[in-house]
Structure 1
Amino acid sequence: MRKIALISEHASPLASVGSTDCGGQNIYVAHLARQLGTRGYLVDVFTRRDKALLPEVVAFAPNVHVIHVPAGPPVQVPKEQLLPYMDAFGEFLVEFIRHDPVGYDVLHANFFMSGLAALQARRALGIPLVMTFHALGKVRRLHQGSTDGFPDARFDIEDTLVRVSDCVVAECPQDLDDLVSLYGADPGRISTVPCGFDGAEFAPVARHAARRELGWQRDAFSVLQLGRLVPRKGIDNVIRALGCLRRDHGMRAALYVVGGNAEQPSVQATPEIGRLQGVAKEEGVADSVVFVGRRGRDTLRLFYSAADVFVTTPWYEPFGITPVEAMACGAPVIGADVGGIRSTVVDGQTGYLVPPKAPAALAARLATLATDPAHARQLGEAGRRRAQRHFTWAGVAQLMEAVYAGVCAGACPITAGARRAAA
């Protein structure tokens, strides 16, 4: 039995997903850890202690424990401000691993700061390092410019990690291309392994039953946006598309926005809601936009199943787990033609791809689905089959197991299965 150290400095598997810094990476780490535990591995997830009373070790799932690392103040700190604490994180990691009675076979770092901390353990203890970035600093800076809160030091750290990691995991073909073109990565040392969904969490629910439980109108054309409420997710674009739909196509739609920093939606808890409310008022659709608040993952299948279409149009997206979850629930997906979304959504087969920041193009696709519900159902069913075939967490863990075995044997395999999953 092998033992794996999953390192995820700001994204704990124990956190409530949907708030500002809790999203896809939390889900990725939680489900990968569970699946590896199910497959017989011992897994420790190292994440920063962000509350004073958290115990050092928490049992998370069979064979899986979460280790809270004392690095920086034991309070929530925006991830953009965590870099100064990574030396302390790495020092703790080295000592913890050095005194572990079993010993770790692989370090799997998630995000560049985790990679920086893991480098200390790799250098001190000689344990192979697998690196998943989840987002690349150079890509983020291209899209966010001066609003990017990470320091420029991120670029050199990522360059080093790309060069010295035993294997870099790309989450989609676009991620691989960015690693090669922007970082000079050796394609032979990159394995492509996607993200996934859990079939126990996400499966279709009869639409009318889901709407009845959520209190939605039975027959209104309903659009769902679900995820973190931050500007780069392009929720304002979806709201503007509702305005275009009303003005240019003479059609109305209800938009449900799920996410935020609290279950009760408020500008105080989630300032982005205030900005989005202003956009809705400007577009004349304030009466059609409902901010739901954050919801537990045990209820999300109801939202995906209740919607006529799931829409996500971020400026950029390293992978994007929500389209896969929506597909697993049988919802057609309209996504921005960026990053991982262009490899999960098949244009014209499981939904549509549209340019980001293009509300008129999005509105045209919404009108197509609203006027042809049979076609929308066909897209949703095709998406469900695609999700089941390519994007389960069990399949992801199997591919990752091959990556771990490869680095332990001194290689970084790009398996046929990984290629098929990314296709």
Structure 2
Amino acid sequence: MSQTPPVSQSRHPRATFSAGPQRQAIALILVHNDPALEFQREEASGSRVYVNQISEALAKLGWQVDVFTRKTNPDDPTIVQHSPHHRTIRLVAGPQEFIPRDRLLEHMPAFVEAFRKFQTKDGFHYPLVHTHYWLAGWVGLQLKQESNIQLVHTYHSLAAVKYAGMAQKPLVADHRMAVERHTLVGANCIVATSPQEQETLRELVATPGNVQVIPGGTDLDVFHQMSRSDARAQLGLSPSENVVLHVGRFDPRKGIETLVRACAQIKQMDTLAGEPLRLLLVGAADDAESLAERDRIQSLVAELGLNAVTEFVGQVGHDRLPLYYTAADVCVVPSQFEPFGLVALEAMACGTPVVASDVGGLKFAVVPEETGLLVAPQDVDGFAGAIARILSDDLWAHRLRRQASLRVQQNFSWSAVAARLSDLYRRLLAQSLTGDLLSVPMAPTTAAALSSLPAEPLEQPLVNVS
């Protein structure tokens, strides 16, 4: 998505919830990853894509969509107008510079105050706020305490999964886990992107709370089937190579080590003996953690004798990413957990079979034997066998490609996702006006669930509410 020219801030009449020509204003909040930037540091890019795409699709359905994020550069415009009814608003909360997300919580009170001031100055009232990722969830709970808003939240990732089995957790871990529990109990509705994420929320976060499953989507204008030979020619890849692709940031939880070890096994398999193999690792590494992981993977590649067949591609823009998906014989998603699995859907939209971990939303995105294969996470032998099975059976792989693309077209367009979200928003707003309940009972927002959220969030851990 290209950045559109910014426009100056202007005052607007207060929006009202009506069927007339005046649009209802809603706020989407993504604090840590500016949706208006063409590229951002390798942090939560999936959530940025989600917010970008769903905002534009909701605007087309008749909403006035304002997306709020934290300003990270004093030279950036305060407001970016993407389309007539979709804009990004950058609020000053802490230093106007990049701050790693694990160090942003202390600036969230300032973000809340900046949001309040914007509403007052700009004349907008947002009766519904949809927050994304746990930091925005903290903001949303504060706003809900102060005014009668309908709060919707999407997690995008969960601390209970991310920190499971981690020997050294970051200082913010306890705060994050508590905020995520508070959000599940205190929000009017949680949007889970797969039935598996809904199940994980119930098992690991909290039992109370209203959870609705609305999957994420894929930009079918960008990700679609095209000529594989043309894609390979543009990328300088040989038509005869077996191309294995991974797309994602360098993070131990992404399971890249499993893929590399699986490729080392594939090189030795009799069924593929003599056939050239190419491993493409697409994704940036631009912070200390991801740089360390990339260096570790590079050392492993050298140790396993895969230097000649492995390419560390780096960051690739959405204008060229479909070429990599299309050129690949198989896209591998060996993550230890994915709440949704956007990479799997993008690959499938391009007609590329997927071999993925049998976890989280990947179990929802990939249909075994029809659009790809699922393997237990960290199972090197299992991944090697699944990848080799697709590479060695051209007829079956062709069928997988056709079925993968069809599944995404029928189930995961952003317009379809936006239509379901729009219906949810309208039911929530109607409930706020009439007091009627949704068909699924809403979670009560108890004072006890919210009162322990501290004004100074880093001074002491939050209280468990599960």
- What band does the TM-score fall into relative to the shorter chain? over 0.9
Distance in 2 (CA, whole Å) between partners of 1:397 and 1:39 is: 8
Q: Give the CA deviation at 1:26.
A: 0.5
Q: Give the CA deviation at 1:166.
A: 0.7
Determine whether 1:255 maps to 2:279.
yes
In structure 2, the residue matched to 1:25 is 47
For residue 302 of structure 1, give the secondary structure of its aligned residue in structure 2: helix
The structure-2 alpha-carbon separation of the partners of 1:412 and 1:168, relative to structure 1 and needing over 3 Å to count, comes to farther
In structure 1, the residue matched to 2:75 is 53
Per-residue CA deviations over 1:252-291 (Å, capped at 9, x if unaligned) read: 52111111047xxx99994433211111112121211101
In structure 1, the residue matched to 2:376 is 355
User: Percent of counterpart pairs with the same letter?
Assistant: 32
Code of the residue aligned with 2:159 in structure 1: it is G
Distance in 2 (CA, whole Å) between partners of 1:255 and 1:365 is: 15
Q: Give the CA deviation at 1:63.
A: 0.9
Farther off after superposition, 131-140 or 336-345:
131-140
Per-residue CA deviations over 1:366-411 (Å, capped at 9, x if unaligned) read: 1111211111111111111110111111111011111111211224
Code of the residue aligned with 2:407 in structure 1: it is R
Higher normalized helix content (fraction of residues): 1
Alignment of 1:146-157 (within 5 A): 146-148=168-170, 150-157=172-179
In structure 2, the residue matched to 1:134 is 156
Question: Is the contact made by 2:249 and 2:290 (CA closer than 8 Å) also made in structure 1?
Answer: no
Distance in 1 (CA, whole Å) between partners of 2:377 and 2:176 is: 26
In structure 2, the residue matched to 1:273 is 294
Farther off after superposition, 58-67 or 94-103:
94-103
Code of the residue aligned with 1:375 in structure 2: it is W
For residue 365 of structure 1, give the secondary structure of its aligned residue in structure 2: helix
Distance in 2 (CA, whole Å) between partners of 1:6 and 1:205 is: 34
Distance in 1 (CA, whole Å) between partners of 2:419 and 2:76 is: 32
In structure 2, the residue matched to 1:406 is 427
Larger radius of gyration between Structure 1 and Structure 2: 2
Question: Is the contact made by 1:225 and 1:257 (CA closer than 8 Å) also made in structure 2?
Answer: yes
Question: Is the contact made by 1:43 and 1:63 (CA closer than 8 Å) also made in structure 2?
Answer: yes
Gaps (5+ residues) in structure 1? 416-423
Per-residue CA deviations over 1:14-47 (Å, capped at 9, x if unaligned) read: 2345742141001000001110111121111111
In structure 2, the residue matched to 1:296 is 317
Q: How many residues align?
A: 411
Code of the residue aligned with 1:232 in structure 2: it is R
Determine whether 1:381 maps to 2:402.
yes
In structure 1, the residue matched to 2:116 is 94
Determine whether 1:316 maps to 2:306.
no
In structure 2, the residue matched to 1:418 is none
The structure-2 alpha-carbon separation of the partners of 1:180 and 1:98, relative to structure 1 and needing over 3 Å to count, comes to farther
Distance in 2 (CA, whole Å) between partners of 1:289 and 1:147 is: 32
Question: Is the contact made by 2:29 and 2:131 (CA closer than 8 Å) also made in structure 1?
Answer: yes
Q: Give the CA deviation at 1:110.
A: 0.5
Distance in 1 (CA, whole Å) between partners of 2:288 and 2:199 is: 38
Distance in 1 (CA, whole Å) between partners of 2:126 and 2:265 is: 55
For residue 146 of structure 1, give the secondary structure of its aligned residue in structure 2: coil
Question: Is the contact made by 2:33 and 2:40 (CA closer than 8 Å) also made in structure 1?
Answer: no
Distance in 2 (CA, whole Å) between partners of 1:132 and 1:344 is: 18
In structure 1, the residue matched to 2:189 is 167
Per-residue CA deviations over 1:63-109 (Å, capped at 9, x if unaligned) read: 11111111111111111111111111111112222444242231000
Distance in 1 (CA, whole Å) between partners of 2:290 and 2:208 is: 44
Distance in 2 (CA, whole Å) between partners of 1:366 and 1:79 is: 35
Of 106, 121, 128, which residue of structure 2 is paired with 1:84?
106
Question: Is the contact made by 1:267 and 1:274 (CA closer than 8 Å) also made in structure 2?
Answer: no
Farther off after superposition, 286-295 or 10-19:
10-19
Question: Is the contact made by 1:12 and 1:47 (CA closer than 8 Å) also made in structure 2?
Answer: yes
Determine whether 1:63 maps to 2:85.
yes
Determine whether 1:15 maps to 2:37.
yes
Of 343, 358, 365, which residue of structure 2 is paired with 1:344?
365
Of 255, 261, 268, which residue of structure 2 is paired with 1:240?
261
Question: Is the contact made by 1:90 and 1:116 (CA closer than 8 Å) also made in structure 2?
Answer: no
Q: Give the CA deviation at 1:242.
A: 0.6
The structure-2 alpha-carbon separation of the partners of 1:149 and 1:222, relative to structure 1 and needing over 3 Å to count, comes to farther
Farther off after superposition, 65-74 or 140-149:
140-149
Code of the residue aligned with 2:135 in structure 1: it is M
Code of the residue aligned with 2:246 in structure 1: it is Q
Code of the residue aligned with 1:107 in structure 2: it is V
Q: Give the CA deviation at 1:146.
A: 2.0
Code of the residue aligned with 2:356 in structure 1: it is G
Farther off after superposition, 401-410 or 267-276:
267-276
In structure 1, the residue matched to 2:8 is none
Question: Is the contact made by 2:159 and 2:173 (CA closer than 8 Å) also made in structure 1?
Answer: no
In structure 2, the residue matched to 1:364 is 385
Determine whether 1:216 maps to 2:240.
no
The structure-2 alpha-carbon separation of the partners of 1:51 and 1:399, relative to structure 1 and needing over 3 Å to count, comes to same
Cα RMSD (Å) of the superposition? 2.1
Distance in 1 (CA, whole Å) between partners of 2:420 and 2:293 is: 37
Question: Is the contact made by 1:333 and 1:380 (CA closer than 8 Å) also made in structure 2?
Answer: no
Distance in 2 (CA, whole Å) between partners of 1:79 and 1:67 is: 19
